[in-house]
Structure 1
């Protein structure tokens, strides 16, 4: 029996999210060859087609000046070896189910040149890049998502190569201008993109928004579902938490705690596949020799690069993560019987060297009572059980600690600070007050997070998933190109990125 999903019907969601007029002609512009993203596109486009909407399809993965993060196969190589790329197979499958060939759209502007200058004449650091815009849209933030061959630390001490930046900016402008023109030429009434964070998806969504056109974002679903579709940007954590609380409220009372709790239990038992990278070096049940402290405060750090480019009001937070840690350490030292343990994120083992150096320097400045480095075998879940108070800068361990019945304080951006399970301390005064309270927050609030992680989004209604996790539509498999084609494409992609150093 199929597990219940957050949404029962894609058609019902589309009717609630878009008016009849807005569903008139929906443009799907794709820059990725990831199978799960293309499967979400195919299911949504098919549903709209069945509802009577016109669908416009722009498979532009190989049309942009720079490859997007989800690119894998060169279309010319695929054609030469008669082994179509995955996005080409999805395109053909959609035509086979009845979407007319006239719905296919290439970039409409021939001999394209940027409609607005993109003056990049030197290498830039992260802060300078973030400030770059194109017709007021956040081009710089999108540029920071591109793949490179070299390490790209978060620190402003690192300068991104000029050639890389120039090509990324040009490619963003290409996607923005071409999407703008296509919307006007085809009378597009809504646009759907993958995720909305990557270079070209962000450009396409920005182009639509500038014209007052609504945007839908498709993405991965929950562990037990197939995909997500939302009319809010994928990383709008306020909206996501609203959905969590609504989902928990509407879920059968006899099932919601068990289903939501199972997400936490898998992570506690080190059996969650999506968490293996973080726990592979940890020994289940391994803990520290608990110091003789009246109140043990444990800080779990966040991976800086994963939060650096979020579009948030950063003034609502206590400061940067190093600053927040120093404030926390100082507050703990003011209190008799308080001791601070810092657990550095295991992901640091695979992060750029400079980022690791700067973080370890920040820990030294904070001078906690105990520091567990990224290589420590101590089990994070055993450690949080030893804590009286858990503090994070947004790390998922915060909501996991709340599920374990711990007092949780969050100092940075998170997807659980509005669930009632954690206290957001945005100032030193708020942090001081929060540390004086050891009562846990809302356990159901924490469970709602796990419930969303399991059942987020939709089940496929038209796309079929095989036992090997392959996808097909109308019997046409979304198979990838032959290995030789992928390898040659990969080599060509590496050569392009090598030349951009």
Structure 2
């Protein structure tokens, strides 16, 4: 089999390690392997948002290191800016929606650029529109040139399979879209774990990791095909929910309930009413997931959805809106507008820094409504009727009542609902925690170890120069810290610190 891999940056971890690891697997299997990689093909990437040439120089140097260590039998293909034909398309965008819908030759360039922007800035309001446009316009033009080049490259190579890491952001999303247009088999490589456990590699065949239908099928397949007993699967899956309720880090980067007071309910909680808890999500995070996560949505915003529910609920129903703790300090309009809902008498708003216990509220309420956060599937596990308004990775498990239209939502709010069986919630958690059956065996250590100094010191088995972690860090400091401090990038933008 002829396989084409693409790597957007040699300095991303575990991204680079996962690609290198999969290449070694393909070599073992006798495949013909091509590795295309950015050699200033694009003016920016996730690791180098402002296009600093010092970072690019170090990135190229590390690809040379990879070639020496892992490149035997691999066709290394650096892609240069000069390799592409360049056109001035005179693109004009008047507002973010016009960028979001922008496609070029079947590639969702606009949404992938916005996805990255929302991910970094959380600026749904596009408050710095002029600065964003100055950064985005040359990049979008550059991406269109890159799309033309990749179509020609894949036409000439005729690979049987195209493989990338993830695929959500602009730097490599085009390979996913182009593979679909050209009818080439596609695989997205992804890392699971990290933070409190070693990274493992997982493959998403035919789609990228954010594809809800593929994710649902993988959840179902693992539960069905795992050799472990039902009792053991149930035991393992249950630990996910028990740890989260007890404020123990599972695989997240932080525990959002650690500042909440156990068993504390909102003041004036009235048990004589039908009480419904609404747990909102960070809307900027959902927007950053891309267009697929907007398909089938019943409302344009969470504010619109909640107001609709308030206006169509029986008088005997009271809502409690638990605003996600992750929104503390976030000032975009999608968040601040939520507080205007207090004009309705049938809702109590719990701010993100409130000490009210999210789990005590869940236990005390009759139903739970979410917009895709894990609280929805947690509520199902703990025996609460859980209503999902929007999209979620667990929507295909049957753990929640997934609303298909507004009439269905009105009925779900106003009528008695039995809790769903725990099975769907167990299937989801079992997949999320699995590091044995759905992941691949590694050829190299792909894990990342962090030490926090004046900058983040991170070591891997592949980030080495002459077998030395410290020499890599010295180079990294010189090129990526000092090199960017004293020199402007090609695409200047006041990015917040990541």
How would you bin the TM-score normalised by the shorter chain? 0.7 to 0.9
* Residue 181 (structure 2) pairs with residue 210 (structure 1): yes
Cα distance change on mapping 1:109 and 1:466 into 2, 3 Å = closer
Cα distance change on mapping 1:185 and 1:493 into 2, 3 Å = farther
Match of 1:463 among 444, 455, 478: 444
* Residue 80 (structure 2) pairs with residue 100 (structure 1): no
SS at structure 2 position matched to 1:307: helix
* Residue 213 (structure 2) pairs with residue 238 (structure 1): yes
CA distance in 1, matches of 2:167, 2:263: 39
TM-score, length basis structure 1:
0.83
Match of 2:22 among 44, 55, 63: 44
- Cα displacement string for residues 17-39 of structure 1 (whole angstroms, at most 9, x for unaligned residues): xxxxxx32333333462211112
CA distance in 1, matches of 2:343, 2:69: 62
Aligned pairs for 1:482-497 (under 5 A) are: 482-491=476-485, 495-497=489-491
Which stretch of structure 1 is more off in the superposition, 167-176 or 387-396?
167-176
Cα distance change on mapping 1:94 and 1:496 into 2, 3 Å = closer
**Deviation of residue 330 (structure 1)?**
2.2
Match of 2:326 among 341, 347, 357: 347
Matching residue of 1:11 = none
**Deviation of residue 148 (structure 1)?**
8.7
In the alignment, structure 2 segments of 5+ residues that lack a partner are 451-458
**Deviation of residue 466 (structure 1)?**
6.7
SS at structure 1 position matched to 2:339: helix
Matched-pair contact (CA < 8 Å) for 1:24–1:53: yes
Cα distance change on mapping 1:482 and 1:127 into 2, 3 Å = closer
**Deviation of residue 342 (structure 1)?**
0.4
* Residue 298 (structure 2) pairs with residue 324 (structure 1): no
Aligned-residue Cα RMSD (Å) equals: 3.3
Aligned pairs for 1:282-293 (under 5 A) are: 282-289=260-267, 290-293=269-272
SS at structure 1 position matched to 2:256: helix
Matching residue of 1:250 = 225
Which stretch of structure 1 is more off in the superposition, 180-189 or 256-265?
180-189
**Deviation of residue 275 (structure 1)?**
5.1
Matched-pair contact (CA < 8 Å) for 1:114–1:174: yes
Cα distance change on mapping 1:430 and 1:378 into 2, 3 Å = same
Aligned pairs for 1:394-473 (under 5 A) are: 394-435=372-413, 436-455=415-434, 457-464=438-445, 468=449, 470-472=459-461
TM-score, length basis structure 2:
0.83
Aligned pairs for 1:1-20 (under 5 A) are: none
In the alignment, structure 1 segments of 5+ residues that lack a partner are 1-22
CA distance in 1, matches of 2:432, 2:410: 32
Cα distance change on mapping 1:256 and 1:136 into 2, 3 Å = same
Aligned pairs for 1:20-419 (under 5 A) are: 23-31=1-9, 33-60=11-38, 63-71=40-48, 77=54, 85=59, 88-89=61-62, 92-93=65-66, 95-97=68-70, 99-100=72-73, 103-107=75-79, 110=82, 112-114=84-86, 118-121=89-92, 124-147=94-117, 151=121, 153-155=123-125, 159=129, 161-222=132-193, 226-231=200-205, 232-251=207-226, 252=228, 253-272=230-249, 274=252, 276=254, 278-289=256-267, 290-308=269-287, 310-312=290-292, 314=294, 316-320=296-300, 321-332=302-313, 334-336=314-316, 338-361=317-340, 363-364=341-342, 368-419=346-397
